[in-house]
Every structure is written in structure tokens, then in C-alpha cells.
């Protein structure tokens, strides 16, 4: 009987020890599993951040290349325009009045105005019809203007500029008002707007 009790006691002790060991192993495995899960999550987050960073870098690179291409195109256009301008001014006899910066601003304005006039004439049948003799060389703007002003003889009128006189004639109304307006516009294009009327009449008589 005593031997049996001893054997049972040993069995219970062995069982308890095995259970304790199993419990310890289970807790250890659970801890390791939790650690692996956290590590995997951290690695996934790191991969996502790396992927986002790479996408951002590629996007910046693409935008940079696009902007550089645009700047290069603008540079080539500006270079071509400068070459054309330099060729046109190479043999021109120009007196610079008001400083180089003022001259350049006026030159740019004149070029812009010229392009606007060219575009207007090219796309307007009315303008082409009205200005055709002056554009193709079959008519002389100065001669036409001199004929219109030929009847003007008073000293006060003769001392007026072309633009001032044409404005007076336009404001007077009448059937010829539109012709005076055309002459005024053409005078501005040819740089005759500030020319004294007397000089035109003198040229016409000569």
C-alpha cells in the first residue's frame, strides 16, 4: 500500500512538472509570436513609407524634367527672336534718346504694335480693301494726305501737326470723316503723326 501511494505521488509530481513546463513553453511561444507579429507590422510600415518616398521622388523628377524642357523651349524662342532683332538692327542708323532701357521698352512696344497691325490687316478684308493702295505701293500715303490738306492755307492750320489737323477735320464730321480717320491711323503707323502740316504741303508743291 505504501509503495502504491509513493508511486501515485511521483506520478502526480511528474505530471505537475510536465504541465508547468508545457505552460512555460506556451507562454514563451506566445511571446515570440507576438514579437514576430509586431516586427512584421513594423517592416510592412517601413516598406510602405519607402514606397511612398520613391513615388514622391519619381514625381519630383518628372516635374523637374517637364519644367526644364519648358525653360529650354523658351530659351530657344528668345534666342531666335534676339537673332532676328539683331539682324534687323545690324545696319540700322538709330539715335538712342532717353537711355538704353527706355529705347528697349519703346522698341519692344513698337514690335508688339507692329505684330498687332499685321494680324489686324491680315485678318480684316475691310482693312485690306481700304489700305490696299498703300500696302502694295500703288498709292502714296504722303501724296494722298497732301491732296486732302492742299486747300489748307492759313498760318494757324499750317503750324499744326498732321494728327492735330486730322482730329479737327474728323471732329467736323461730314462724309469724309472716315477718310480722315484712315489717314490718321496710317500717319501714326508711318511716324508722321507729329510732322508739321507745312512740311507736307511743301513737299507736295515741290
* Calpha distance 185→140 (Å, rounded): 15
Q: Where a domain ends, among 29, 58, 93?
A: 93
Number of neighbours of residue 161 by Cβ within 10 angstroms: 16
Backbone torsions φ then ψ of 196, nearest 5 degrees:
-60, 145
Which pLDDT does position 2 carry in this prediction?
64
Q: Does residue 3 sit within a domain?
A: yes
> Which tops the pLDDT comparison, 131 or 30?
30
d(CA 187, CA 97): 22
User: In Å, how far from its chain's centre is CA 84?
Assistant: 21
- pLDDT tens digits along 37-68: 887 777 777 666 676 777 777 788 888 888 88
- Nearest partner of 107 among 115, 175, 192, judged by Cα: 115
- H helix intervals, 90-158: 100-123, 125-136, 141-149, 155-158
What residues are paired with 196 via a beta bridge?
161
Q: Which domain holds residue 193?
A: 140-205
Distance between CA 27 and CA 113 in Å, rounded?
A: 88
Same domain for 158 and 85: no
Q: Tens digit of pLDDT for each residue in 118-155? A: 555 555 554 555 556 655 666 666 666 556 555 555 55
- The reply to whether 163 falls in a domain is yes
By three-state DSSP, how is residue 161 classified? Answer: strand
Amino acid at each position: 500500500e505504501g509503495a502504491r501511494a509513493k508511486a501515485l505521488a511521483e506520478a502526480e509530481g511528474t505530471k505537475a512538472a510536465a504541465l508547468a513546463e508545457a505552460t512555460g513553453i506556451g507562454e514563451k511561444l506566445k511571446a515570440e509570436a507576438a514579437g514576430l507579429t509586431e516586427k512584421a507590422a513594423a517592416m510592412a510600415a517601413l516598406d510602405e513609407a519607402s514606397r511612398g518616398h520613391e513615388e514622391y521622388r519619381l514625381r519630383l523628377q518628372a516635374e523637374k524634367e517637364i519644367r526644364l524642357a519648358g525653360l529650354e523651349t523658351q530659351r530657344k524662342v528668345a534666342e531666335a527672336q534676339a537673332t532676328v532683332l539683331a539682324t534687323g538692327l545690324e545696319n540700322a542708323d538709330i539715335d538712342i534718346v532717353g537711355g538704353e532701357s527706355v529705347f528697349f521698352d519703346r522698341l519692344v512696344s513698337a514690335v508688339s504694335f507692329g505684330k498687332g497691325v499685321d494680324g489686324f490687316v491680315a485678318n480684316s478684308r475691310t482693312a485690306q480693301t481700304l489700305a490696299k493702295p498703300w500696302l502694295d505701293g500703288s498709292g502714296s500715303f504722303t501724296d494722298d494726305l497732301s491732296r486732302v490738306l492742299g486747300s489748307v492755307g492759313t498760318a494757324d492750320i499750317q503750324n499744326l501737326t498732321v494728327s492735330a489737323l486730322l482730329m479737327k477735320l474728323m471732329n467736323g464730321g461730314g462724309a469724309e470723316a472716315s477718310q480722315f480717320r484712315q489717314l490718321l491711323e496710317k500717319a501714326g503707323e508711318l511716324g508722321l503723326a507729329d510732322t508739321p502740316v507745312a512740311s507736307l504741303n511743301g513737299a507736295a508743291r515741290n
